[in-house]
Amino acid sequence: MPFTVVLVGRPNVGKSTLFNRLVGARRALVDNQPAVTRDRREGKARLGDLSFTVIDTAGLEKAVKDGLPGRMRAQTVAAMAHADAVFFLVDARAGITGADRDLADLARKSGKPIILVANKSEGRAGEAAALDAYALGFGDPVLMSAEHGEGLSGLYDALRMALPEATAESETAELVAGEKPIRIAVVGRPNTGKSTLINRLLGQERLVTGPESGITRDAIAVDFEWRGRRLRIYDTAGLRRRSRIVDKIEKLAAADARDAVRFAETVVVLMDAQAPFEEQDIRIADLVEQEGRSIVIAINKVDLMPRQANVRARLRQDADRLLAQIKGVPLVLVSASTGEGLDELMVAAMQSHAVWNRRVPTAALNRFLSEAVGNHSPPAVKGRPVRLDYMTQPKSRPPTFVLFAARAAALPETYRRYLINGLRETFDLPGTPIRLNVRAKSNPFAKRKRR
C-alpha cells in the first residue's frame, strides 16, 4: 500500500534539499535564503527498496493567520494531516532553537509518527551538535547530510520502524518466515571479481562477467538463501579514484555503488590477491567505515597466488596497520573462480553483522569507564582536569556510545581513541565501526544568579 511522508521544520534546515535527494532530481528550488519554498510540493520518492510519496513544505514559523506566512503555515499543517509520517528536520549546526521546540509541539499534535532528522550533521562537530536534538522528545535523531547524501541508511531504518506495515507492503520480494533479508553489498576496484563471486554464491550465471573492466554499471540486487537465512546481495560497479572518472556513465555507476554501500548492512570489500591493499582499496574500506556499515575484507584470486607460508598472517598485519580504525576486521581468502573460501566468507559476514548489532548494558559500560580512567586518567588541559561522568549506548548499527563529561570539548582526540580501542577489546567488537560522542553534562546551577 503506498504511503506519504511530509517534510517539516523551520526555514532553511534543508527540507527541499532532502526532497530533491529522495525524488532523485532537482525538483524543488534550493537556496541559502530562507523561505524559498511556499507551496506544498509532492514527488515520488525512493529510499532503498521503498517507494512512497514525499511532500516538501514551507518553513514553519510563528505568523499571523491572514498574512502570507500564516497561509504557508496552514498549508504545512494540512500536509501533516494528510501524511502517514513526518520527517521533522532540525539544523544540527545551529542546534535546537525556541522555534524548533514550538514547531515540535505543533507536529506532535498531528498524531502521526515523527522521525527526527538532524540535517547538516557532516563532520564530527555537526554530529556532536546533533545530540542536542534529544531535547525535543522524539527519540534518537537520524544524523544525516541531505546535501552530501550521508545518513540515508539511517533514515531508511527509521522509516521502516515508524511504519512497519506500510513499508513491509512496499517490499519487492516476499519475506521468509517473517524475517527481513540481510542486505550485503560487494564493492571493490574494477575487475576484482565481484560479479564472479556473486555468481559462484548463487550457483548460476546470474550476472554478466568477463575480462573487460567496468562491465557492471547498475547496482544489481539478487535474493538468495544461505543456511536458512534470507540474504539480498548487491553487485556494484568498480570504484576508481574520482579524479580518474571522466565518463558520465561511470560517474553514475560509481554513485550507484556508493548508494549500495549506504543502504547495505554488511559490506564485503573485495581485493585482488595479486595487488591487495592498494591506495584505492584503503579508500573504499574507509568509505564503508564512515558510512557505519559492518565490513568484511575478502582477498580474491588466491588460486593465482604462489603458495607461500604465513600469507594469511602477513595480510592480517597489513589490514590492522592500514585500517587501524577498524582493527580486527574479518579477513578471508577466497577464489571466486574455484569456490575456495566462500563458506568462510559467508560465516564472517554473518558474524560481522551480529557484532554490528551488539548492545552493551550501561552498567558494564560504566565499569569499563571506571577501569579505563583508573588505568590511564585523562590529561589535564590548561592545568584543569577533565572529569568523565558516565557512558551509555543509545543505539547499535553501528555501536554508538555517548560519554558525558565536564569540559567535554577539552577531551583530547588521543584519549578518545584510547577509549574506542578499549571498548573494542573489552566488549569483543572486532572490525566494526564504533562511534563515541562526547557530550558536556548540563550544569543545573548555570541559570542561578550569583549572590
What confidence tens digit (pLDDT) does each residue in 130-139 have?
A: 677 888 888 8
Note whether 4-169 and 182-356 share their fold: yes
**If you ran DSSP here, which 8-state letter would residue 134 be given?**
G
> Does residue 98 carry a pLDDT above 60?
yes
pTM, entire model: 0.69
For 19, phi then psi, to 5°, come to -55, -50
The pLDDT confidence band at residue 220, using thresholds 50, 70 and 90, is confident
pLDDT of amino acid 139: 85
Complete DSSP assignment for 330-352? -EEE-BTTTTBTHHHHHHHHHHH
Asked whether the beta carbons of 96 and 74 are under 8 A apart, the reply is no
Please, which pLDDT band fits residue 37 given cuts at 50, 70 and 90? very low
- Residue pair 107/88 in contact by the 8 Å Cβ criterion: yes
Query: 3.40.50.720, 2.60.120.10, 3.40.50.300, 3.30.499.10: which CATH number matches 4-169?
Result: 3.40.50.300
Mean pLDDT of all residues in 184-196: 91
Tell me the CATH number for domain 182-356. 3.40.50.300
Please give the full DSSP string across 83-122, using - where no structure is assigned: -SEEEEEEETTT---HHHHHHHHHHHHT-S-EEEEEES--
First to last CA, the chain: 63
User: What is the Cα–Cα distance from 285 to 294, expressed in whole angstroms?
Assistant: 11
Return the pLDDT at 1: 56
Rounded to an integer, the average pLDDT of 179-208 is 86
Highest mean pLDDT, choosing among 9-13, 78-82, 432-436 = 432-436
Domain ranges for the chain: 4-169, 182-356, 362-440
Rounded distance, CA 38 to CA 49, Å? Answer: 30
Grid cell of 305 as nine digits: 597466488
CATH class of 362-440: alpha beta
| E-state strands within 123-275 | 142-143, 182-188, 220-226, 229-235, 266-272
Q: Tell me which residue of 122, 140, 114 sits closest to 392, measured CA to CA.
A: 140
pLDDT of residue 82: 85
| 16 closest CA partner among 142, 132, 146 | 146
What distance in Å separates the CA atoms of residue 386 and residue 402, rounded to the nearest whole number?
A: 16
Query: Cα–Cα distances in Å, from 450 out to 122, 205, 442, 446?
Result: 39, 77, 18, 10
Residue 35 has a pLDDT of: 40
User: Cα–Cα distance between 58 and 236 in angstroms, integer?
Assistant: 37
Average pLDDT over residues 206-225: 70
pLDDT, one tens digit per residue, over 366-377 is 999 999 999 999
Q: What is the pLDDT of residue 97?
A: 87
